[in-house]
Amino acid sequence: MDTHALPALTVYLAAPRGFCAGVDRAIKIVEMALEKWGAPVFVRHEIVHNKYVVDDLRAKGAVFVDELDECPDDRPVIFSAHGVPKAVPAEAARRQMLYVDATCPLVSKVHIEAARHQENGLQMVMIGHDGHPETVGTMGQLPEGEVLLVETVEDVAHLKVRDPQHLAFVTQTTLSVDDTAEIVAALQARFPAIVGPHKEDICYATTNRQEAVKALAPKADALLVVGAPNSSNSKRLVEVGRKAGCSYAQLVQRAADIDWRALQGVTSIGVTAGASAPEVLIDEVIEALRSRYTVTVQPVTTAEENVEFKVPRVLREPA
């Protein structure tokens, strides 16, 4: 193809983007479990919210299930990076199953906070998305009905609490930093005694990816976020991009999802990826752009990341 005939396109490539330390660790856990114990290894829920990653692990011998009762007693089972209600490992232990918990350490930290607040006699409020596995897992650290869920500022106005003097809050790790700040402010205005983390529990990876999008969105005619439709942090990147001034922002799982008609006439595109999207898919998207434009890539770097989490000891020990 004669590339001189192609229109020019500047790609503002966000950094950081894509895999975070928790996702990287969770995938390693499944791969190492397969190496150590052979196939099949069962995984409760998508290990991370990305079809490409899940399909790749499935091809290597992982079997994805929704619930523990779909797993045999005599094969290893892994719990996803989003975390699980307390009842799940308890049931695995009761059945004497070999299980490895791939819950991200930053999610586990929130679980510990929730338990500590309860020990201190505080009623818990969780800011999160109803039904998301992380919210289900965090709320499931305490007995059913103990945690009040709020998703919006409006929800705060309708909260019915036991005692406004004995309240605490935690948050999902993958929320919009700005929207969550508004909800926290509403909670603090209505319940001045509420106890919480210094700001919220949103993790470094979510925060950094949103910051990078905020930096590039005002310069770009359009934004492509590589990520899955069930990935909370990816969906938040689309919203953050729109709020930061990029009128067209699209979530794409792969290059085939790009809506080329919507991109007609653009001369610059921001590209980023949610924390569970592998770099190979970002490369695929950029290659697809190169097939239609003469692309110049300009990195937009707002932070350097060097976070790494160890895999559980059972996988580091020799078989």
Tell me whether the omega of the peptide bond preceding residue 16 falls within 30 degrees of 0, making it cis: yes
Specify the stretch interacting with ligand SF4 by CB under 6 A; choose among 21-29, 59-67, 192-200, 250-258.
Answer: 21-29
Q: How far is the CB of 1 from ligand SF4 (least distance, A)?
A: 38
Considering the rule CB under 6 A, would residue 20 count as an interface residue with ligand SF4? yes
Specify the stretch interacting with ligand SF4 by CB under 6 A; choose among 20-28, 119-127, 153-161, 189-197.
Answer: 20-28
C-alpha to C-alpha distance for 237 and 245, rounded to whole angstroms? 13
C-alpha to C-alpha distance for 274 and 250, rounded to whole angstroms? 12
C-alpha to C-alpha distance for 62 and 69, rounded to whole angstroms? 16
Strand partners, 12: 270, 298
C-alpha to C-alpha distance for 203 and 299, rounded to whole angstroms? 23
| Residue placing its CB nearer to ligand SF4 in the complex, 46 or 167 | 46
> How far, in whole angstroms, is CA 92 from its chain's centroid?
25
Residues 236-295 that bind ligand SF4 (CB under 6 A): 275
C-alpha to C-alpha distance for 6 and 255, rounded to whole angstroms? 18
Considering the rule CB under 6 A, would residue 206 count as an interface residue with ligand SF4? yes
Q: How far is it between the farthest Cα atoms of the chain?
A: 70
Considering the rule CB under 6 A, would residue 81 count as an interface residue with ligand SF4? yes
Q: How far is the CB of 111 from ligand SF4 (least distance, A)?
A: 12
Q: SS3 for 236?
A: helix
Q: How far is the CB of 291 from ligand SF4 (least distance, A)?
A: 31
Given a contact cutoff of 8 angstroms between Cβ atoms, the answer to whether 240 and 17 are in contact is no
C-alpha to C-alpha distance for 146 and 141, rounded to whole angstroms? 10
Specify the stretch interacting with ligand SF4 by CB under 6 A; choose among 17-25, 38-46, 153-161, 163-171.
Answer: 17-25
Give the binding-site size for ligand SF4 (rule: CB under 6 A): 15
Q: How far is the CB of 205 from ligand SF4 (least distance, A)?
A: 4
Q: Which of 15, 21, 30, 47 binds ligand SF4 (CB under 6 A)?
A: 21
Considering the rule CB under 6 A, would residue 84 count as an interface residue with ligand SF4? no
CB atoms within 10 A of CB 315: 18
Strand partners, 64: 43
Q: Which of 203, 277, 285, 286 binds ligand SF4 (CB under 6 A)?
A: 203
Given a contact cutoff of 8 angstroms between Cβ atoms, the answer to whether 250 and 222 are in contact is yes
Q: How far is the CB of 278 from ligand SF4 (least distance, A)?
A: 13
* Concatenated DSSP letters of 151-184: -SHHHHHH---S-TTSEEEEE-TTS-HHHHHHHH
Binding mask 96-125 for ligand SF4 (x = CB under 6 A): --------x-xx------------------
Q: Which of 80, 138, 141, 174 binds ligand SF4 (CB under 6 A)?
A: 174
70: annotated active-site residue: no
C-alpha to C-alpha distance for 233 and 102, rounded to whole angstroms? 18
Q: How far is the CB of 198 from ligand SF4 (least distance, A)?
A: 16
- Catalytic-labelled residue, pool 35, 134, 239, 317: 134
Q: How far is the CB of 55 from ligand SF4 (least distance, A)?
A: 19
Considering the rule CB under 6 A, would residue 171 count as an interface residue with ligand SF4? no
Given a contact cutoff of 8 angstroms between Cβ atoms, the answer to whether 219 and 269 are in contact is no
The contact set with ligand SF4 (CB under 6 A) reads 20-23, 81, 104, 106-107, 173-174, 203, 205-206, 233, 275
Residues catalogued as catalytic: 134
